[in-house]
Structure 1
């Protein structure tokens, strides 16, 4: 089954006065919909837009996998382990929070920043926090999460180019830019498709091409 969630239907959040605009795909913070709290292991897919100088002050995370994809601009990450890293378009950032870590995310540059941050439930809770940045990840290279039964696929397609969608119980497709045709549906920037029991599905780039983030997930959260 394939269901499309349009960008226009995302929950709006953030703090306009502070230069922060957020678009939530799932229930998050002050936005709660009991019918839309997760899909597979994915519990958040937030598109963040930060004006120059704006950012999120130090805050904690625990027992969650945070994966970030920068669309434009530069994201500065600082955390309680002493790291200070700048993440740019084409990089994949992973923060495995483990039993707990604190971090800051901000736009220290002179240009607007836009990034997509996705939260997934790990298969095992606790442990030490981990951090990684993969610079300039190649198209089609799968990025597997060590602590979650999930794989991220980055797909960049030209007009008319096609790609297979992974066969999996849960597949989440977020279109970053361009146009993408998937299972008879046309996705635009910010749109997402949630596919259950995906098998033999293909995606094709439209006239403007496409950049998509595709999550392949093989389990649901287990809290017991």
Structure 2
């Protein structure tokens, strides 16, 4: 093979790699709606009886858990503090990508998910970074304990702010089964109502039918997810094109 042909093929490879890298970075930095793609773990979640909406929430939860674990490892192993902002940047880019690319699959308030995960991630970054810097500059345990207490108050303040701005005592569900005086309702993951996704047996109300979309009252519980307790009203029939679960799937 001639040298010109070798150089030409190398040039084509470099050009292709550059274009793919540019598309990848553009997709991460400036995510656009992915109408024909689903987020990670979607097939697993749908097989369990849930929807893509729950897959998005699961991606965000697992990302945050992994972020906390990696931060903790950096702190425990006393690695360079510069790893913390790098890890924070990667984590925020992932959240931005998930919420930007798959926002159309979110059934409940998209803004609530943004505020919660951006807010709690930023608080975590400040907490870990401040702790690392403080531990490096002083050996006085009182300062460290005081800082930890301050972080706890900051988290509680953010929690109260989120509840006041987005919190509500109701969520939405779809009637999946009617059995005597009880109905089985599928409730989506709802961060504003603090409800876990799943199937709940609730008292039957007059006029409710299989497939109806219903508004469900939830009961707050300390340090636990809220519990659906009863149906407030029937909103619409699931036979229409606006039924949430059908849209998500």
With the length of structure 2 as denominator, give the TM-score of the two structures: 0.29
Larger radius of gyration: 2
Higher helix share: 2
With the length of structure 1 as denominator, give the TM-score of the two structures: 0.31
- Which structure's relative contact order is higher, taking Cα pairs within 8 Å and 6+ residues apart? 1
